[in-house]
């Protein structure tokens, strides 16, 4: 998509026009001033802005993923939830094996692709999490059960443990699951694809 441009005499007028056009409030708009002309004695004064709102981001994400399906000749439907500017996307497809890949690697790569495309389009970091046929929820349940078992061993032996590298959303799920576990803390270590979670014995840590 292309950003829509609005040109009016003042910034306020341009924003009001954009808000009216998009059916949102001025506060919901994200804008950049493209050109500003001061005119001569106030004559010819104008401001040109490019504008988008959260709905534009949602439409871009759905359209981008749907286009990917069409190009790859895969079937799929896309639903999206805007969680305060973080986009949770659910994909239903009969090709879930292709989309998810071994250990979720394909889904992880696809998530990075979509996130990068949206971030480049809107010139800001766009948070995206894609789930295919409920895979992520099942994955969270599986890894948090494993992490609780490891944490209990850490607490019993007083020896810290390192988990295998995993994406940020999975590390966060484990962190949240262990947050209220007495004498246990979690810490992310490593860079890039090697970023992993360490489960640490922390004597004296109390649960609120």
Mind giving me the DSSP string for 63-80?
A: HHHHHHHHHHT---EEEE
H or E segment and range at residue 89: strand 86-92
69 to 72, 74, 128, 129, 191: CA distances (angstroms):
5, 5, 18, 17, 31
Contact 202, 184 (CB under 8 A): yes
pLDDT tens readout for residues 28-72: 898 888 888 876 666 778 888 899 999 999 999 999 999 988 888
Please give the pLDDT value at position 105: 87
pLDDT tens readout for residues 144-166: 999 999 999 999 999 999 999 99
Alpha-carbon distance 73 to 68, whole Å?
8
H or E segment and range at residue 83: strand 77-83
Contact 144, 179 (CB under 8 A): no
> Structure tokens of 190?
């490593």
Model confidence, pTM: 0.77
Mapped onto helix, strand or coil, the DSSP state of residue 95 is: coil
pLDDT above 90 (res 103) = no
pLDDT above 60 (res 13) = yes
> Structure tokens of 67?
């286009």
Confidence of residue 111 (pLDDT cuts 50, 70, 90): very high
């Amino acid at each position: 998509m292309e950003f829509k441009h609005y040109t009016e005499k003042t910034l306020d007028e341009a924003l009001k026009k954009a808000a009216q056009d998009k059916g949102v409030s001025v506060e919901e708009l994200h804008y950049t001033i493209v050109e500003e002309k001061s005119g001569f004695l106030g004559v010819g004064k104008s401001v040109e802005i490019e504008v988008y709102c959260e709905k534009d981001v949602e439409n871009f994400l759905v359209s981008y993923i749907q286009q990917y399906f069409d190009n790859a000749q895969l079937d799929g439907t896309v639903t999206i939830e805007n969680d305060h500017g973080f986009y949770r996307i659910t994909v239903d497809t009969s090709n879930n094996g292709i989309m998810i890949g071994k250990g979720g690697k394909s889904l992880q790569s696809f998530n990075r692709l979509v996130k990068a495309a949206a971030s480049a389009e809107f010139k800001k970091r766009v948070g995206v999490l894609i789930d295919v046929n409920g895979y992520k929820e099942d994955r969270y349940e599986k890894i948090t059960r494993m992490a609780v078992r490891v944490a209990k061993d850490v607490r019993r032996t007083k020896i810290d443990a390192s988990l295998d590298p995993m994406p940020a959303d999975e590390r966060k799920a484990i962190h949240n699951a262990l947050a209220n576990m007495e004498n246990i803390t979690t810490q992310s270590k490593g860079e890039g694809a090697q970023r992993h979670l360490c489960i640490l014995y922390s004597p004296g840590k109390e649960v609120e």
